[in-house]
Amino acid sequence: MFFDSHAHLDDEKFTDDRAEVIARAKENGVTHIVNIGADMESSARSIGLTQQYDMIYATVGVHPHDAKKVIVSDYDQLAQWTRLDKVVAIGEIGLDYYYDLSPRELQREVFIRQLDVARQTHMPIVIHDRDAHGETMEILKREGKGLIGVVHCFAGSMEMAAELIKMGWYIGCDGPVTFKNAAKLPEIMKKIPLERLLIETDSPYLTPVPFRGKRNEPAYVRFVAEHIAGLRGVSIEEIAKATTQNVCDLFQIKL
């Protein structure tokens, strides 16, 4: 039983075969999926998917790429959406200093404002952090006190992972752990406490080996689980069971 904790099934890359993709996920042991909001429009689409499919939950939030599009009323809308039964977190939010598609100062401002929405609504958080590890941690420590969440597609150091875990946070792992150039990531996934690990696909992105280069989909989360199981010397069933429980614990989901 796999729980894909981070997918973007509302993406246009799934327009022609979304139902088939979801059916394949079920056939490959994926029982539940969290579909992630990346801007106001995709957050609304994610909520729509929760109404179509029992197995799908949603998050709502604005990705740092789209920080420049945020208007003040969006924060109230995000808060209102959190009242819906299958909306489980604020996200994905954070900083992206690799693409810099929104000004960094604006990214930081929108990130902090959304942390405040999470605090007010008592919701966990899904973090996007690319090439901004230091500032992400600084903001979480200063503005995110008392909040918990997951740093999705973790790409930081072992020291950063340990700090997050000490804060009660979770680490998200997806396709890059299977890449030959994964660098320090496999060692981190081997060492972190299993009770703090989530598996994810980030579909349609970050496709794991052996399908790297093709469109990703939730069915492929098993390859992430298999790779982590091999690194840790445990069964894939143990990884599946633990990570499913972790998603439920973080997002307060009762299966």
What's the rounded Cα separation, in Å, for the pair 210 and 228?
Answer: 15
Task: Say how far residue 34 (Cα) sits from the centre of its chain.
Answer: 8
User: Could you give the dihedral angle defined by the CA atoms of residues 184, 171, 137 and 9, in that order, rounded to the nearest 10 degrees?
Assistant: 110
Cα separation, 18 vs 43, in Å, equals 17
d(CA 231, CA 241): 17
Residue 170's DSSP bridge partners are 150
Instruction: Write out the H or E segment, with its range, that includes residue 225.
Output: helix 221-232
Q: Is 92 annotated as a binding residue?
A: yes
State how far the Cα of 105 lies from the Cα of 195, in Å rounded to an integer.
35
Alpha helices, DSSP H, located in 133-211:
133-143, 158-166, 185-191
CB hemisphere CA count around 146 (13 angstroms): 9
- On whether 238 is known to bind a ligand per the annotation, the reply is no
- What is the dihedral sign for C-alpha 80, 60, 48, 85? negative
133 is in an annotated binding site: no
Is 6 annotated among the ligand-binding residues? yes
User: Which residue, among 75, 64, 9, 43, has the nearest Cα to 218 in the 3D structure?
Assistant: 9
Is residue 128 part of an annotated ligand binding site?
yes
Residue ranges for the known binding site are 6, 8, 92, 128, 152, 202
Residue ranges for the known binding site for a divalent metal cation are 6, 8, 92, 128, 152, 202
